[in-house]
Amino acid sequence: MVLQLMTERWTGEVSAVTIGAAAKDGGTRAYSIKIGGEKSLPCLFKEGTLPNKPQVAFEVFDVAPNDWPNEVLKPYGKSVNDPLEWAQMCVQDFKARSLCIRLLGAHPDFGNKSSEEEAQLIKKLLEKVSVPLIILGSGDDAKDNLLLPAISEAAKGECCLIGPAVQDNYKTIVAAALADGHCVIAESPIDVNIAKQLNILISDMGLPLERVVINPTIGALGYGLEYAYSIMERARLAALSGDKTLASPFICFVGQEAWRAKESKIETLPEQGIIWEVLTATALIQAGADLLIMRHPKAIEKVNRYIDNLMTNDRTQSSK
């Protein structure tokens, strides 16, 4: 007798979000990337289609980062002092498919660059590289409320993913994204309820949920990874059961968390940070991560290979 495996039938699906506008869509990007669209839990190819591969974006700062360990700065050399050069290096040397620009320099404590200055930088960056962009504010609410509308306007029509929108501060950024045709990162503090509430608030303002990506907030391996995992799983189960307000793809800031772990900073074990970043990333892919923001080129290479292996496995074929 053949053992019949149980398969779950889901009624809902994760919405597919497109980042980056190519010429045919009115932008200047060479291509766009698509994330989300899952109709099953991660890796359960037989239960439903998983049309889009998880994507990895390189993280680039507008000022030289002050808290990155040497190990992760090394591959970029001097270019970390110039965001344009750094971005170009990611694309040309490391074959980045998308970039995540963090405008830390606008933060009052880290340079307090003006919104105009940052808007100029984004314009130049869009000319320099042609990959889809993810753009993050400075992390200071008051400043971001001035900064992000300016950035959004500077990148109008390019369909960037901008953020973060948080429950206490989402209106300005959502309004800007609505006006300029961008997608928004909705960030919640490892809390499925707040993730959902924020999505409702955002869609109440008129931004379609197909243009929202959830940042569930994660912890690195050993620093609360399993907590993040379970929150993502809960949200994904709700999405697949038909809850539209949680059916957004996940963005996970893997590099930021992994390189903060003290295990990644041990000078005598230079490979360990890379391993830490890879393990955090692969675990989150299994939790349903759609877009991973990472730092070390070697780690990114390994994760990309892992994704390719996973998604082109013959198991994918059998789902047809």
Residues of this chain that interact with other proteins (CB under 8 A) are 167-168, 171, 191, 193, 196-197, 200-201, 204, 243, 245
Q: Are 53 and 31 in contact (CB under 8 A)?
A: no
Minimum gap (Å) between residue 177 Cβ and other proteins? 17
Minimum gap (Å) between residue 163 Cβ and other proteins? 18
Q: In whole angstroms, what is the distance from residue 83 CA to residue 70 CA?
A: 18
Minimum gap (Å) between residue 192 Cβ and other proteins? 8
For residue 53, the number of C-alpha atoms closer than 13 Å in the C-beta half-sphere is 17
Q: What token pair was written down for 258?
A: 């992994």
**Residue 304: C-alpha distances to residues 131, 219, 234, 293, 301 (Å):** 17, 21, 26, 12, 5
- Judged by CB, which is closer to other proteins: 115, or 199? 199
- Judged by CB, which is closer to other proteins: 157, or 189? 189
Q: In whole angstroms, what is the distance from residue 64 CA to residue 241 CA?
A: 44
Q: In whole angstroms, what is the distance from residue 104 CA to residue 113 CA?
A: 9
- Judged by CB, which is closer to other proteins: 129, or 246? 246
Q: In whole angstroms, what is the distance from residue 36 CA to residue 50 CA?
A: 8
- Judged by CB, which is closer to other proteins: 89, or 238? 238
Number of neighbouring beta carbons within 10 Å of residue 79: 18
- Judged by CB, which is closer to other proteins: 84, or 194? 194
Minimum gap (Å) between residue 197 Cβ and other proteins? 5
Peptide bond connecting 297 to the previous residue in cis, omega within 30 degrees of 0: no
- Judged by CB, which is closer to other proteins: 129, or 192? 192
Minimum gap (Å) between residue 60 Cβ and other proteins? 33
Minimum gap (Å) between residue 166 Cβ and other proteins? 11
